[in-house]
Amino acid sequence: ETGEIAICRQAIMALEKLASQACSEEVIEALAHVQAATDDPTLRSQAESAIQRLEERFHGTRAVVKTPVPEGDDMLVDLSTIEPAPTIIDARTLRPGDVLADRYKMIRQVGKGGFGVVVLVEDRIVQDEIILKFLGPKFALDRGMIERFKHELRLARKITHQNVIRIYDLISFGHSFAISMEYFDSHSLATELRGGLPIETRRGLRILRDIASGLAVAHRAGIIHRDLKPGNILINDQLEVKLVDFGLAAAASQPAGRLTRSGSLIGTPAYMSPEQIRDHPLDPRSDVYSLGIVMYEIFTGRPPYRNADTMAVLFQHVEGKATPPREVNPKLSPTLEAMILRAIAVDPAQRYQSAAELELAIQALPELAQG
């Protein structure tokens, strides 16, 4: 079996696992492309089997959504077979002024993500604005998943750092659940990168330094982010920077019935580490890799690995043949280019060994002090 075939087999398994939290149609389409394009019969059979399992799994999920829960029997319901739709809050229908649990007054919807709808509310007891991130039905109806969220968020709320969004609690509204967290009036780094242009060097380094600082504190507490990307990096007009969603990826990646499992595959393909893709055990160097990918994008205007085919992106991460950053942006210094390439090394042993080490390297760059 050639190296490429072996990597493709790993990528097919990774895609199938990723589909549990990602867009199933996109993954099935990618697998169908592999099935049609490959000349290897084992790859073709593996892709076909994966497609069948995904279609059965997601068809089954859709089929049970319409079943209501009998009133008064909700605690006896088998959540694996029916969904109590009438008791679930559809956060998309909330309007300004709506009040939840006689406490949280809806102000506005501020976003939608892989976990559900995100709303800004006024907590009328503490008289402060906070964020409620509602968990979608596929999370809220899984009792094991909720227990894992409780476990991971219990760890994540211990992170107290100026560059990390504080998590407060997991709140129950009947069969609906929302994560309450600090409100930070800001925009995401993804918004700044949307135009495909590099960010000014000193600004980019300040953002990266602050994120590395927040990551270092989390890593010392034994917490890995697992889904570090521009969309999870928030910036305000004063260039204050905060990282959001610690604990969420870890909670969603755990298998039913277990609270911990290293290396479970979940994340955003463009920013995932090779060991994450291969479903290997993770340590802080996985987050260092993801931050290195963000660093590459900040200073070139694009991520190093891009392709309409998710499978191809995963393969590129494992292969590790990124275009040198200075070929994309000749204005970069050789030192900064070397730092980026070290952070995104395929072999974790070749990277910065911690976010703290990367933070120190950024601090030492003369470009950070300029301007």
Is residue 2 over pLDDT 90? no
Is residue 200 over pLDDT 70? yes
Nearest to 316 by CA among 305, 302, 327, 308: 305
pLDDT (0 to 100) of residue 84: 40
pLDDT (0 to 100) of residue 199: 98
DSSP lists the bridge partners of residue 243 as 164, 233
pLDDT tens profile 29-57: 677 777 766 778 788 788 778 877 776 66
**Pair 288, 340: CB distance under 8 Å:** no
Is residue 317 over pLDDT 80? yes
Mean pLDDT of all residues in 142-168: 86
Residue 63 pLDDT level (bands cut at 50, 70, 90)? very low
**Torsion sign over Cα 43, 45, 47, 49:** negative
pLDDT (0 to 100) of residue 274: 97
Residue 330 pLDDT level (bands cut at 50, 70, 90)? very high
- The percentage of residues in the chain with a pLDDT greater than 90, rounded to a whole number, is 54
What size, in residues, is the chain? Answer: 371
Mean pLDDT of all residues in 325-350: 98
152 vs 2: which has the higher pLDDT: 152
pLDDT (0 to 100) of residue 56: 67
* Domain range annotation of the chain: 3-63, 85-182, 187-369
pLDDT (0 to 100) of residue 266: 66
DSSP lists the bridge partners of residue 105 as 99, 122
- The percentage of residues in the chain with a pLDDT greater than 70, rounded to a whole number, is 80
**Pair 163, 210: CB distance under 8 Å:** yes
Rounded to the nearest 10 degrees, the angle between the axes of helix 334-343 and helix 284-300 is 140
pLDDT (0 to 100) of residue 224: 92
Task: Using DSSP, state whether 247 is helix, strand or coil.
Answer: coil
Cα dist from 15 to 3, 167, 176, 309, whole Å? 18, 30, 29, 11
pLDDT tens profile 164-180: 999 999 898 877 889 99
pLDDT tens profile 220-261: 988 999 999 999 999 999 999 999 988 676 665 544 333 333
Identity of the highest mean pLDDT range in 9-18, 84-93, 260-269, 317-326: 317-326
In this structure, of 64-68, 81-85, 319-323, the range with the lowest mean pLDDT score is: 64-68
**Pair 224, 290: CB distance under 8 Å:** no
pLDDT (0 to 100) of residue 244: 93
Q: What is the CATH number of domain 187-369?
A: 1.10.510.10
Is residue 212 over pLDDT 90? yes
Q: How far apart are CA 149 and CA 245, in angstroms?
A: 12
Tokens representing 203? 């600004």
**Pair 246, 164: CB distance under 8 Å:** yes
Residue 88 pLDDT level (bands cut at 50, 70, 90)? low
Is residue 210 over pLDDT 70? yes
Task: Using DSSP, state whether 181 is helix, strand or coil.
Answer: strand
Residue 25 pLDDT level (bands cut at 50, 70, 90)? low
Q: How far apart are CA 330 and CA 314, in angstroms?
A: 27
Is residue 86 over pLDDT 60? no
pLDDT (0 to 100) of residue 22: 46
**Pair 204, 193: CB distance under 8 Å:** no
Q: How far apart are CA 16 and CA 276, in angstroms?
A: 14
Mean pLDDT of all residues in 18-39: 67
What letter represents residue 54's amino acid? L
In the block, which residue shows the tokens 């999920």? 61
**Pair 157, 181: CB distance under 8 Å:** no
Nearest to 29 by CA among 227, 312, 276: 312
Burial tier of 171 (Cβ tally within 10 Å: 0-12, 13-18, 19+) = middle
CATH match for 85-182 among 3.40.50.10470, 3.30.200.20, 3.30.300.20, 3.40.50.10700: 3.30.200.20
pTM over 0.85: no
Say whether 227 is catalytic.
yes
pLDDT (0 to 100) of residue 249: 63
Catalytic residue among 210, 227, 245, 287: 227
**Pair 344, 296: CB distance under 8 Å:** yes
Mean pLDDT of all residues in 96-123: 90
Asked if the domains 85-182 and 187-369 are classified in one and the same CATH topology, the answer is no
Q: How far apart are CA 54 and CA 23, in angstroms?
A: 11
**Pair 341, 322: CB distance under 8 Å:** yes
